């Protein structure tokens, strides 16, 4: 049985949750914990999970020695799987990648470089990003259009769209010529980040140079639909026809989805009927869009009718269709009916994916059936469908909402042990929960969670830093507050008004 308190180690890279006990001395907060490597390191026969967990336990020197050993046959596929598993511990992932680069019998592939570049860019470590690009060129494995798509997407998500444009326009300087595919990829990056006006202006300037096609127009139309500006999406549709570019079913599906996103249910239904009248060969995406759209609007019976109509017309639902239907039943109807559809899906031979399980688990959590949600988590593992960070975050969030902090910490402990590393949302939820209970010891836990966030490459908000600092100062934990300030300084977010 778990104790109601949490013991956190400041420098253990695998997990700050070692046991549930607050009785710690906080005098040596800056001391690095020494970790002894496993007596029997994983071998080539072990899976990526075991190797990832072992790597997490090694410091930089031990990691270099381990990777130079011949105990594991490193392959591109294995390295990529490990990089993905270390995704939410960016510094360790980059450390692993760099340490392996000079291995005697292994050489990094283009895809491995792309993974490392994506991780470094997520950390906003742009110096490392461009150093990796230079190494790719030196080893003649890139960069390629996908590499630049990754870099531009990360610049856009970091609020640097102008920099992303400059990177796209300078691709040729790195030996990678822009073409229609790379142009479309960049437009898609801008549109999905809701910078559709920037994308459209770029599209107008460069559409002749790259000979914009149906995909180009669809991307721009979808961008306007994402910000609920369906009239502008229709204008792009008309521009497309006037330019002599033939709309496809994808084009119609984009507009249909745009109406539903904007809450224009009547217009969406009329557009769907118009597609029928024009005898468009509607596909599973068309019907899934309508099912989900009516479901979100609370018109469950209408969604069910369209779902049945799809099957009646000979179009088999996809896993995505079932996911959409299960989701709307959980949100707008009741979770029991959603589970019936889930079971029907299994009987028909469909294999649920993590999204399927996640919507069921979220639905069960929402109605307070946490035990059932945990049973589905176990079922998910039994069915060899690995839970992802969203799965765990849902459970942690609902446990926190119910005041079951210890249970949420137990789930977090499983994640931190390497089962599925926590992300920024995980930490934010737990830190907020610590403040919800208003216990002085919880502030120490919140502080340690924050320091682990920084160690794993996440950048907490200034509000989070200041909230924890204020709490620690008010409770007399000045020494620990200094450690928080040092962590904040590493993120470049040191507030001038704090003087200890």
- Mean pLDDT taken over the chain: 86
* Interval 431-458 mean pLDDT: 87
* Interval 190-196 mean pLDDT: 96
Closest to 458 (Cα-Cα) out of 119, 189, 117, 17: 119
**pLDDT > 90? residue 344:** yes
**The predicted structure's pLDDT at residue 477:** 79
> Cis omega (within 30 of 0) on the bond before 143?
yes
- In the chain, where are the structural domains located? 58-142
* Interval 279-286 mean pLDDT: 90
Q: How confident is the model at residue 140 (pLDDT cuts 50, 70, 90)?
A: very high
pLDDT in tens, 80-106: 999 999 999 999 999 999 999 888 889
Q: How confident is the model at residue 119 (pLDDT cuts 50, 70, 90)?
A: very high
Q: pTM here?
A: 0.84
**β-strands 7-8, 17-19: how paired?**
antiparallel
**The predicted structure's pLDDT at residue 494:** 46
Greater confidence (99 vs 6) lies with 99
From CA 201, how far away is CA 10, in angstroms rounded?
49
pLDDT in tens, 29-60: 333 333 334 445 554 445 888 899 889 988 88
**The predicted structure's pLDDT at residue 492:** 60
* Interval 136-148 mean pLDDT: 95
**The predicted structure's pLDDT at residue 42:** 57
**The predicted structure's pLDDT at residue 333:** 83
Q: How confident is the model at residue 470 (pLDDT cuts 50, 70, 90)?
A: confident
**pLDDT > 60? residue 21:** no
**The predicted structure's pLDDT at residue 30:** 33
**pLDDT > 90? residue 15:** no
Range with lowest mean pLDDT among 132-146, 194-208, 380-394, 410-424: 410-424
* Interval 469-489 mean pLDDT: 81
Q: Is 443 exposed, middle or buried (0-12, 13-18, 19+ CB in 10 A)?
A: buried
Q: How confident is the model at residue 436 (pLDDT cuts 50, 70, 90)?
A: confident
**pLDDT > 90? residue 18:** no
Q: How confident is the model at residue 487 (pLDDT cuts 50, 70, 90)?
A: confident
**The predicted structure's pLDDT at residue 414:** 85
**The predicted structure's pLDDT at residue 45:** 41
pLDDT in tens, 312-331: 999 999 999 999 999 999 98
The set of residues, in sequence order, having a beta carbon less than 8 Å from that of 161 and lying 6+ positions away, is 155, 190, 193, 195, 198
**pLDDT > 80? residue 6:** no
* Interval 350-361 mean pLDDT: 96
**The predicted structure's pLDDT at residue 46:** 53
């Amino acid at each position: 049985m778990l104790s109601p308190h949490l013991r956190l180690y400041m420098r253990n890279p695998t997990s700050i949750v070692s046991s549930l006990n607050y009785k710690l001395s906080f005098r040596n907060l800056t001391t690095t914990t020494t970790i002894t490597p496993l007596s029997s390191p994983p071998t080539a026969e072990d899976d990526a999970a075991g190797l990832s967990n072992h790597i997490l336990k090694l410091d930089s020197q031990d990691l270099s020695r381990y990777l130079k050993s011949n105990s594991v046959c490193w392959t591109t596929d294995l390295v990529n799987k490990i990089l993905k598993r270390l995704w939410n511990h960016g510094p360790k992932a980059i450390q692993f990648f760099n340490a392996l680069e000079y291995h005697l019998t292994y050489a990094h592939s283009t895809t491995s470089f792309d993974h490392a570049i994506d991780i470094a860019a997520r950390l906003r470590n742009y110096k490392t990003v461009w150093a990796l690009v230079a190494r790719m060129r030196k080893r003649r494995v890139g960069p390629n259009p996908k590499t630049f798509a990754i870099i531009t997407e990360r610049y856009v998500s970091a609020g640097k769209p102008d920099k992303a444009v400059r990177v796209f326009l300078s691709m040729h300087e790195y030996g990678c010529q822009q073409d229609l595919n790379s142009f479309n990829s960049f437009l898609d990056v801008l549109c999905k980040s809701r910078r559709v006006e920037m994308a459209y202006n770029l599209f107008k300037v460069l559409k002749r140079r790259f000979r914009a096609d149906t995909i180009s127009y669809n991307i721009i139309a979808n961008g306007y639909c994402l910000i609920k500006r369906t009239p502008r999406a229709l204008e792009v549709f008309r521009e497309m026809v006037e330019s002599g570019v033939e709309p496809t079913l994808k084009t119609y599906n984009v507009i249909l989805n745009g109406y539903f996103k904007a809450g224009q249910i009547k217009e969406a239904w009329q557009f769907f009927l118009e597609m029928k009248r024009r005898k468009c060969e509607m596909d599973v995406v068309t019907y899934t869009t309508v099912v989900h759209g009516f479901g979100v609007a609370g018109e469950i019976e209408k969604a069910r009718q369209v779902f049945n109509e799809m099957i009646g017309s000979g179009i088999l639902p996809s896993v995505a269709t079932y996911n959409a239907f299960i989701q709307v039943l959980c949100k707008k109807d009741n979770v029991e009916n959603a589970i019936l559809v889930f079971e029907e899906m299994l009987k028909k031979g469909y294999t649920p994916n993590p999204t399927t399980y996640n919507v069921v688990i979220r639905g069960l959590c929402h109605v307070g059936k946490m035990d059932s949600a945990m049973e589905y988590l176990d079922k998910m593992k039994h069915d060899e469908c690995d839970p992802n960070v969203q799965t765990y975050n849902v459970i942690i969030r609902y446990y926190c909402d119910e005041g079951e902090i210890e249970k949420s910490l137990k789930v977090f402990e499983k994640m931190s042990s390497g089962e599925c590393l926590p992300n920024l949302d995980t930490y934010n939820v737990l830190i907020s929960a610590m403040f919800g209970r208003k216990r002085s010891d919880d502030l120490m836990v919140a502080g340690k969670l924050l320091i682990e966030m920084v160690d794993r490459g996440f950048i907490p908000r200034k509000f989070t830093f200041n909230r924890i600092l204020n709490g620690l100062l008010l409770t007399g934990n000045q020494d620990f507050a200094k450690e928080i300030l040092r962590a904040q300084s590493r993120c470049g977010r040191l507030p001038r008004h704090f003087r200890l």
